[in-house]
Structure 1
Amino acid sequence: MPSTVPDFEKTAKLLEEHGFTIVDFTPEHVRIRLFKWNVHNEAADVIDRLEPFQDIVLSV
C-alpha cells in the first residue's frame, strides 16, 4: 500500500494552559481525548476529576 499524507483539520482552539491527551486505539476506531488543567489556578487533585474538553473519534 503506498503511503499517503493525512488530511488534518484543526478542531480545538490553541490554549495557553497545561494539559494532556489520552489516545485509545481499537481495531474499529481511534479515540482522542484532550484535557486541560492550569497549574496556577487549580490544585493537583483536580486532575482525577477532569472531563475532556475535546473528544474526537476517528474511524479506522
Structure 2
Amino acid sequence: MGRVERQRDLARKRTRRAKLRRLREKYRKANESERPEIIEKVRLVSPLVNLVEEEANQEKAES
C-alpha cells in the first residue's frame, strides 16, 4: 500500500533537513574554492537557504 500524501510530504521534509544539515557541515569545513559548489547544491535542495548569511549571523552570535 502506498503512502498518503501527507506522509510523503513529511518524508521529503525530513530528507531535505538531513541533507541541508550535511551540506551545512561541509560548508563550515570547506575552503574558499569549494564553498560556491556547496552553495549551488544547497540552492537545488532549498532555494531560500542562504549559507553566507547564516555563517555571518553565527559568527556575530559567538562574538
Structure in which a larger fraction of residues adopt helix? 2
**Fold match by TM threshold 0.5:** no
Structure in which a larger fraction of residues adopt strand? 1
TM-score for both structures, normalised by structure 2: 0.25
Larger RCO (CA under 8 A, 6+ residues apart) = 1
